[in-house]
Structure 1
Amino acid sequence: MQIVKMYSTGTCPYCIRAKQILKSKGVAEIEEIRVDLDPSQRNVMSEITGRRTVPQIFIGGKHVGGHDDLVALDARGGLDPMLAGR
C-alpha cells in the first residue's frame, strides 16, 4: 500500500469524504497535514500543487488532486492500482 498524504482542514466536508473513500479502499493511515492548525502549510501546499483549496491528496508522492479528482480517478479504475503501487 502506497503512502497517502493529504492537506486538509478539520471541518472540510470534501476532506472528510476523501478520507472515507481512501479508508474504504483499505488505506489504514493517512498522513494528514492540517492547514487550519498550521496556516504556513497552506503556502507549502500551494507552491507544490498550484492550488489553494483542500483537500490536496498525494499517493506514493504523486499529486492526485482534490476530492473530485480522487472520485474521477476511482471511477476510471485508476485508484486501486495507484494505491497498490502499480
Structure 2
Amino acid sequence: MDRVVRLASQKAVVIFSTNSCCMCHAIKAFFHDQGVNYAAYELDEDPQESDMERALARLLGRSPPVPAVFIGAKLVGSTDKVMSLHLSGKLTPMLQEAGAKWL
C-alpha cells in the first residue's frame, strides 16, 4: 500500500494500468487527447505486480483494480468516474487545483 501511495503522489495525475487492459488504454488516450501530462505505471511490467494489485483492489473495493486514476494524490477511481467528472465540468478544475501540467 505504501508504494502505491508514494507513486500516486509523485505527479499531479497518475494512472495505474496494465498493457493488456483496453479501458486502461482508453483512459490514457483520453488524458493525452486532453493534453494532460500524466504518469502511467504498468503493473504487468512491475516485479511487485501482485502486491500493487492487492493494494489497489483494497483502495478501489473492486477487482480488477485497473485502471486506477489518482489526481493530486487522491484516488478518483476508474474510467467511469473520470468520464463522469469530465462530463459534469469538474475534471478540469480538479486538474488545475492539483497542479496538472498540460502538454
- TM bucket normalised to smaller: 0.7 to 0.9
More strand by share: 1
> TM (normalized to structure 1)?
0.83
Matching residue within 10, 17, 40 for 1:8: 17
Q: Does 1:59 align with 2:67?
A: no
CA RMSD of aligned residues (A): 1.7
User: In 2, distance between residues paired with 1:62 and 1:51?
Assistant: 17
Aligned to 2:51: 40
Identity score, percent: 31
Q: How many residues align?
A: 84
> TM (normalized to structure 2)?
0.71
For the residue of structure 1 that corresponds to 2:70, the secondary structure is strand
**Amino acid corresponding to residue 91 of structure 2 in structure 1:** L
**Unaligned 5+ residue runs, structure 1?**
none
For the residue of structure 1 that corresponds to 2:44, the secondary structure is coil
More helix by share: 2
- Measured after TM superposition, the shift of residue 6 of structure 1 is 1.3
Aligned to 2:90: 78
